[in-house]
Amino acid sequence: MRSGNLGYPRIGKGREWKKALELYWAGKLEEETFQAEMKAIRLRNLKTQQERGIDVIPVGDFTYYDHVLDTAAMFGLVPERFQYEGGVPSLAVYYAMARGSREATACEMTKWFNTNYHYIVPELDNISPVLTHNRLLDAYREAKAELNIEGRPVLVGPYTFLKLSKGYAPEQLAVWIDRLLPLYGQVLRELEAEGVQWVQIDEPILATTLASEELDHVARIYDRLTKEAPGIKLQLQTYFEAVDHYEAVVSLPVHGIGLDFVHDGGRNLQALGKYGFPEDKVLGAGVIDGRGIWRADLQDKLDLLAVIGQAVSADRLIVQPSNSLLHVPVSAAQEGALAPVLREALAFADEKLEELALLTKAARSGAEAVASELAASKRSREALQQSPARSRKEVHARIADLASQPSSRAGDLEVRREVQQKRWNLPLLPTTTIGSFPQTPEVRSARLKWRKGEWSESQYEAFIKDQIKIWIDVQSELGLDVFVHGEFERNDMVEFFGEKLDGFAFTANGWVQSYGSRCVKPPIIYGDVEFTSPMTVAETVYAQSLTATPVKGMLTGPVTILNWSFVRDDKPREEVAYQIALALRDELEALEAAGIGMIQVDEPAIREGLPLKREQWPHYLDWAVRAFRVSTSTVKNETQIHTHMCYCEFHDMIDSIRAMDADVISIETSRSHGELIESFEEHTYDKGIGLGVYDIHSPRVPSVEEMASMIDRALRVLSPEQFWINPDCGLKTRKYEETVASLRNMVQATLQAREKYAVHVTG
């Protein structure tokens, strides 16, 4: 039995990767120096795995932005607007695809399956693929030359790559398979010639709901690839769920199969017991949770491996994480400030590598060889479970009484619309923003001084008030119709609330990559969640005191707080969501009592929580919608509830979005605006809605004409009387100048649209 890994966090223990990227983008790091820094981080990552005793180490999982973008660039799949002239795409072209440029909008970005990681969506329109360079060969050579590591190159599989791409009709799938297979074959032949023994090909799409005929495509792909390079062994890796067509998958003509035994709901293990496993294949047994941050019950994992071992001999087993460790922080060793009972229960990437090595040692030498480690694992988990934080009686009582609590507004939509319009008297096509304004270096510096105790509470509050006033004045000068206070006091839209609720803990360096250089530090929900005191009232009321224009209260919704946190593993996620929802209900009631009559409860992550299996969607959506409504149901009819969502394929869940019963919804759509508009041609939506008219993830300032075109496209299928105009997300990551310029153009585009569509409305 061997230990193996599927991928390692890119960012470095001190986020060195992020810092290097941002310095390079800012022109403060020469390309040669940047490349050297990237290499140093890459080698440190490999050396860490080597020193932890991992037998099978992945290479090629490191990236300069995103692994799907890397695959597109390797095959020359660069859209025409980036003025690519062939050959290896330059860093300028590569980053233009990811972030946009003055001349071209960025490629679409969306969530990697049901995680909070974002990938760049490949665009295949009118492009003939070609192998520009074999980046896996470079990675393999480097690991071997620098560290004497016989690495296993990692490649996004052809079927997953195509299913996640856009720019071709469904009936063209087979054609695109035929276009890509020779290039994948060339990659494998070059690796074979170099002496590579194994290649890991990731096909997580096999863990989604696939029609049986789709397996015919997959079988054809791997029949071809094994023949392209017969001297190389292919490890087909699935993760995030069970595979539906187990017998077909394990019968594919490859040399190894990787299965997730953590997030499979027991179905992979059941299929293994029922159907067995081919005697000519290696099984990559994903038994350590690659997405959670809790220490494993090592005895439980040994018992699981024993069950797996009844179907697969030890010499054909690799003990590995359930998926790439990209989704967890690097090391828990830096978290000395946490309470010992919590700290001892944590396992980040480095600790998970140690767990893999321990399990492998126990399998080889017997459990007695790791008896002390097994005992420590058991003690740490039991100590956390017995913590008072997990036995808050009032929280448990509210959950038990949930069935008798309101979960719908007092008035229906028409009643609310009438009283809200009377109260607010908003113009046609009202303008607003999503919530946050730029978190400048001055804002971050002030927060750091306050946290370090260098500034008093009153100094920090005065600074925040100054920032709020500056941006209330900016919004007034721009002519927006509904303001926000800017969220300058908030480090992160989830962490901010977690810090003010019981049941949460926070790490010093628990960073994970969200997209590009954007890293987030998810809170840890380790105990029962409980409201203690108002969290947002003071800043919102102050902002409202500066203007007669309505200022929205800004909250993060229960499902997003859940999905963007590391969640305790001893309770169903559904119950934790209800705990959060009840705490947020208390905050909404406090805002309303303070005179705030528009409240936005953001749910940007509600869709990413969808299970990969469609048959499980109804249950998830039922409790996710209910959690949102539990938090918003007790406000008055005249209080207008807004919400915001990201990357939402509207047609997939329009009924559930409607059931959330928010008065106004905004959806992040600027990179895929056209596709969303098409869904409104098939579905009706009767509530207020704003489709983001420009992309905030790109530093470019869109023109008035671009945004006017976006508005026109939306109003072909939506009524001007229900349409709101806004950026597609918060503006926290943008700079002052580009933010003001973009919003000014947005308002100008709105004024033109009002003239154009007022005739339509009045006529």
Catalytic residues: 697
Report how far residue 621's alpha carbon sits from residue 710's, in angstroms, rounded to the nearest whole number: 30
- Is 725 annotated to bind ligand? no
**Residue 194 in contact with residue 60, Cβ under 8 Å?**
no
Residues 236, 257: contact at Cβ < 8 Å? yes
Q: Establish whether 107 is an annotated binding residue.
A: no
Cα gap 372→376, rounded to integer Å: 6
What 8-state DSSP symbol labels residue 296?
P
Is 729 annotated as contributing to ligand binding? yes
Residue 682 annotated in ligand binding: no
Q: Can you give the length of the chain in residues?
A: 763
Q: Is 464 annotated as a binding residue?
A: no
DSSP reduced 3-state for 642: strand
Q: Are 371 and 361 in contact (CB under 8 A)?
A: no
User: CA 367: distance to chain centroid?
Assistant: 37
Residue 352 marked ligand-binding: no
Locus of tokens 């360079």: 133
In angstroms, the CA 683 to CA 471 distance is 37
Q: How far apart are CA 656 and CA 622, in angstroms?
A: 8
Residue 436 marked in a binding site: yes
Residue in this structure with the two tokens 């469904």, named with its chain if needed = 170
Mapped onto helix, strand or coil, the DSSP state of residue 497 is helix
Would you call 687 exposed, middle or buried from its count of C-beta atoms within 10 A (0-12, 13-18, 19+)? middle
Ligand-binding annotation for 281, yes or no, is no
CA distances in angstroms from 730 to 11, 137, 463, 605, listed in the order given: 24, 40, 21, 14
* In contact, 422 and 555? CB cutoff 8 Å: no
Instruction: Give CA–CA dist 380/373, Å, rounded.
Output: 11
CA dist., res. 566 & res. 441, Å (int) = 28
**Secondary structure letter of residue 90 according to DSSP:** P
Residues 6+ apart with CB under 8 A from 333: 350, 351
Which residues lie across from 234 on neighbouring strands? 199
Q: Is 490 annotated as a binding residue?
A: no
Residue 392 labelled as part of a binding site: no
User: What is the rounded distance in angstroms from the CA atom of residue 731 to the CA atom of residue 727?
Assistant: 8
646 labelled binding-site residue: yes
47 is in an annotated binding site: no
CA distance from start to end of the chain: 76
Residue 668 in marked binding region: yes
Q: 1 and 316 in contact (C-beta within 8 Å)?
A: no
CB contact at 8 A, 739 and 437:
yes
CA distance 482 to 664: 12
Beta strands 723-724 and 688-691 are parallel
Q: Is 123 helix (H, G, I), strand (E, B) or coil?
A: strand
Does 461 appear as a known binding residue?
no
Strands 501-505, 524-531: pairing is antiparallel
Please name the residues in contact with 46: beta carbons below 8 A apart, sequence gap of 6 or more.
Answer: 8, 57, 59, 143, 147, 149, 151
CA–CA distances in Å: residue 335 to residues 338, 377, 501, 716: 6, 18, 20, 53
Find out whether 648 is annotated in a ligand binding site. no
Quick one: tokens of 582? 């009840």
Which of 216, 297, 285 minimizes the C-alpha distance to 251? 216
CA-CA distance, 155 to 203, in Å (whole number)?
Answer: 9
Q: Is the dihedral of CA 327, 332, 336, 338 positive or negative?
A: positive
679 is in an annotated binding site: no
Which residues belong to the annotated binding site for 5-methyltetrahydropteroyltri-L-glutamate? 15-18, 111, 518-519, 564, 608
Which residues belong to the annotated binding site for Zn(2+)? 644, 646, 668, 729
Which residues belong to the annotated binding site for L-methionine? 434-436, 487, 602
Which residues belong to the annotated binding site? 15-18, 111, 434-436, 487, 518-519, 564, 602, 608, 644, 646, 668, 729
Which residues belong to the annotated binding site for L-homocysteine? 434-436, 487, 602
